[in-house]
Chain A
Amino acid sequence: MPAVSKGDGMRGLAVFISDIRNCKSKEAEIKRINKELANIRSKFKGDKALDGYSKKKYVCKLLFIFLLGHDIDFGHMEAVNLLSSNKYTEKQIGYLFISVLVNSNSELIRLINNAIKNDLSSRNPTFMCLALHCIANVGSREMAEAFAGEIPRILVAGDTMDSVKQSAALCLLRLYKTSPDLVLMGEWTSRVVHLLNDQHMGVVTAAISLITCLSQKNPDEFKTCVSLAVSRLSRIVSSASTDLQDYTYYFVPAPWLSCKLLRLLQCYPPPEDGAVKGRLVECLETILNKAQEPPKSKKVQHSNAKNAILFEAISLIIHYDSEPNLLVRACNQLGQFLQHRETNLRYLALESMCTLASSEFSHEAVKTHIETVINALKTERDVSVRQRAADLLYAMCDRSNAKQIVAEMLSYLETADYSIREEMVLKVAILAEKYAVDYSWYVDTILNLIRIAGDYVSEEVWYRVIQIVINRDDVQGYAAKTVFEALQAPACHENMVKVGGYILGEFGNLIAGDPRSSPLVQFNLLHSKFHLCSVPTRALLLSAYIKFINLFPETKSTIQEVLRSDSQIRNSDVELQQRAVEYLKLSSIASTDVLATVLEEMPPFPERESSILAKLKKKKGPGAVSVNELEEGKREGGELNGGGERGGDSSSTPSPSADLLGLRAGPPVTAAAPSAGSLLVDVFSEAVKQPSPTAFLRLFVCKNNGVLFENQLLQIGIKSEYRQNLGRMYLFYGNKTSVQFVTFTTTVTCPGELQSHILHIHTWNSLEPLIEGGAQVQQVINIECLTDFSDAPLLNIKFRYGGALQNLTLKLPVTINKFFQPTEMASHDFFQRWKQLSLPQQEAQKIFKANHAMDTEVLKAKLLGLGMALLENVDPNPENFVCAGVIQTKAQQVGSLLRLEPNAQAQMYRLTVRSSKDTVSKRLCELLAEQF
């Protein structure tokens, strides 16, 4: 046979290829190619009509030239001519050329499609296959338009040859991927699904790829494939290695088909039919058992094929996440692979175990392999394998092993490849915060992180450590001592200087008693780094210095000396110069009392609020009226402490469990968008993204205060309070620039229905049309809820900044739940009322995927923030949450009950709301579904 294949050869082509290969240089090659192109062009243009063979040969040469990486701009027409040749070999080359050099020339496409149409209807299976291959290779929209209707017919027709069916199935798949709208299975669906039963294994192998893709998009229409797939799989798995003849690959029966069947099943939940499920579990067990049997061949192909099925089966087991026994067996099997001599298997085992670690059934089993994984991190020679090991350590980390894992990751960081350092740093930072039991460990870890991999420590990470130190007074002394020691190193990273400057400026006094770290020593240490740092760090250090003057009056003259020096007070950088001038002046004219007030210790960082807003809140602007203290206290308690951990004193001690969900954020120094929410999200996204105005709105469903909007120019903070059907909202407009905003006007409007009878809004005080650079102004809005509503009022802001008109429209976060009065009730009452609200339209339900980690404390905090009463010991299932409340509107009171059922395995929630008014149930459900 081989002789045949070469015998048809085009000698001219072979000579040309040899010539190219013999070219000594790139130039020579290009010269030879240009010569050939000129030759072919003249032949194509010549008067003499070319015979089919010559045409084929030249087209093939053009193809070769193209594949070498050169551009081809002619020959398409000749290739299209070849398509209609009745000689197979010419047709074949024509199709190959078209497949490789797709041209969007519409005239040509029409001709190509014509030729394809002829071949498809030729009833010659070889020609039909060629045409189908061409469609599958090109897969353009034009082809989909022309053939998407015809191919399903070919696929399911009784008289179609097997080989044509195979091509048709995959051809359709390709068209479906490019133009899903044009491929309509409709009436063919059930016949396509039944191809899974086809006698010909090749047909099943090809068809299943199509079925899998279609099932992913339309699971319901194709769900009958599940039982067919299970029975097919079962037949293969239980067959002897010789039963399937040529579909057995190195003693493994139909490995490709088995993998595809297991993959198809992953598009669906576990089969509901007990018999089907039983059969499937049996298959999975058999596959796991086979892994323990001695290999039938020493060839790597045998073990690869066998393990390919095994890994696919494990993926399915993980996907189902409902069979503890299988999960643990899968984990043990992967555990064996962790120490396998084949690098490929170790890699895959680490990868697969990562997903197992997140299942509650197998998390513990995965953890038993910690030593092996740590060893892999240390000893694997291939960085991609080490990366997998690091991923797995991260996934298996919990409170019990966090210290060990973080220590190992830190020590790995010292030698880690540059390509993965940044990711490692983030992982360490996240784990350290998430599982910090004592905060001195957390501080140590982050400082180590900066020491080892300072360049890869992003701002969010060092902001965070400062935030935590400031909020926890038990760790401040320790942090000051540690950072002081770290700064002793002859070369330390700039990020360390930043943290050091900030912490010593705040808490240097806590270690000043020790003569080794006396105020002057501290100052000299910091200042010794000053000249090595960038401008922002220097600015931060200057602020630390003025804080020193307040903390330690004995350093005043030294520091004033520094501020007065030309390099500061005449610094070419405006920011530095300004700070030096202002601080110098401040230190010389302000009395100690004033100084102490101005330079007071930083207040604790409130959750999800920027520093600007925190200050505003502390001062409580003059316009603020007395609020119902009790209600306010309750609401804020619910939002802020996240876990009921807040003590009686004013400094909030955020609960660590709330942190891991990132209820708190907002870097302390600059006021970045606090809405970017969780640290987890923050550090993973490359930049702090500005959410859309509506995204901001969503953040306020469960809380009343925060930043509504922020861009480079303007920050808008909100503080609101609600009582009965009345609300008052304070808006704080902060000018972030140093230039004044002029003609600053705001208007609040209620679009549509809202205006006339739903919400009644009026602004209480008018604003000055001018906001100075760096200043904030406040506006108060009164709100009255007349009856229930779903839209939000709009706030329009217009002002001029440096001559340019800025125009901004935002939704005000007034949602119906703001008018909730919590209602406490006992279990019995709750269920009675629940039953009373049993009309179908009174209930709204949503099932949705968790967008955040499912932490009980955080969920509670959010539900409390919603304004309802969170009822304990009501639902028989302690995992579930139930709440009750009454919405107060002027027209009526709407009683509402809520039930939230988390499913940790599936990472899903079911939310059910019942209330006496259907629109309220619906709206509450919508609002809340976006919160978890």
Chain B
Amino acid sequence: MQFMLLFSRQGKLRLQKWYVPLSDKEKKKITRELVQTVLARKPKMCSFLEWRDLKIVYKRYASLYFCCAIEDQDNELITLEIIHRYVELLDKYFGSVCELDIIFNFEKAYFILDEFLLGGEAQETSKKNVLKAIEQADLLQENFSSQSPHNCLSTP
């Protein structure tokens, strides 16, 4: 996989993950182009499209579009299920995830994604194992937090 983008129906980018080195300018151009292309597609259309020399696989969940760019030999259907598994992970972690969860806890969305996919390839496909890793991290966090409770209360 070369990159993954999450964007809203209004075209707002919510998460971007790049697995190939690109300049910021190029990233912005790609994002603009793809958001436009995908949003223009009608609901019943097929989830795959050719774009430049890549294949785009996308799926809409409620107000969010999940969009992956894969290479020629990559498998479209399994990518579709990568998206779904990621949504399941977010859902399980946040408890019926919604767009707001991803906006306000964007760093968590990135952490979960890193546990699931690394360098654009599936690292761990077991839902339990991914969540266990995140849980452990949260636990570490809690322990530290409880050691210094005043940190939580400090004002912005």
Contacts and interface: CB of A to CB of B under 8 A. Distances in A.
A5 B125 CA distance: 21
Contact of B144 (A12, A87, A247): A87
Given A57-B156, A96-B107, A246-B128, A2 B45 contact: no
Interface stretch (A63-71, A506-514, A653-661, A717-725): A63-71
A89 B140 contact: yes
Contacts of B125: 201-202, 205, 247, 249, 254, 256-257
A137 B93 CA distance: 23
Contact of A8 (B49, B80, B122, B142): B142
B123 interface: yes
B30 interface: no
A80 interface: no
Interface in B1-51: 13, 15-16, 19, 21, 24, 28, 42, 44-50
B123 A205 contact: yes
Interface stretch (A306-314, A544-552, A688-696): A306-314
B77 A4 contact: no
The DSSP consensus for interface residues of chain A is helix
Contacts of B108: 5
Interface residues of B, number: 68
A6 interface: yes
Contact of B114 (A8, A137, A385): A137
B26 to A, nearest CB: 14
A245 B104 CA distance: 33
B61 interface: no
Interface in A256-291: 256-257, 259-260, 263, 266
A171 B142 CA distance: 28
Contacts of A344: 46-48, 76-77, 80
Contact of B81 (A88, A205, A304): A304
A256 B122 contact: yes
Given A4-B138, A67-B16, A381 B119 contact: no
Contact of B121 (A2, A206, A304): A206
A255 B126 contact: no
What class of interface size applies to chain A in its complex with B? 35 or more
B18 to A, nearest CB: 9
B155 A11 contact: yes
Interface in B58-95: 73, 75-78, 80-82, 84-85, 93-95
Given A202-B125, A247-B126, A311-B75, A4 B118 contact: no
A202 B76 CA distance: 21
B48 to A, nearest CB: 6
A89 B48 CA distance: 38
A34 interface: no
Contacts of B82: 256
Residue among B118, B133, B141 with the highest chain A CB neighbour number at 10 A: B118
Nearest to A10: B156
Contacts of B136: 126
13 contacts: A1-B131, A8-B138, A64-B106, A167-B118, A170-B123, A205-B123, A246-B129, A256-B82, A304-B80, A308-B81, A315-B73, A343-B45, A343-B47
Interface of B: 13, 15-16, 19, 21, 24, 28, 42, 44-50, 73, 75-78, 80-82, 84-85, 93-95, 103-108, 110-111, 114, 118-129, 131, 133-142, 144-145, 148, 151-152, 154-156
Given A53-B148, A255-B78, 9 more contacts: A21-B103, A88-B140, A92-B137, A174-B118, A206-B121, A256-B78, A305-B77, A343-B44, A384-B45
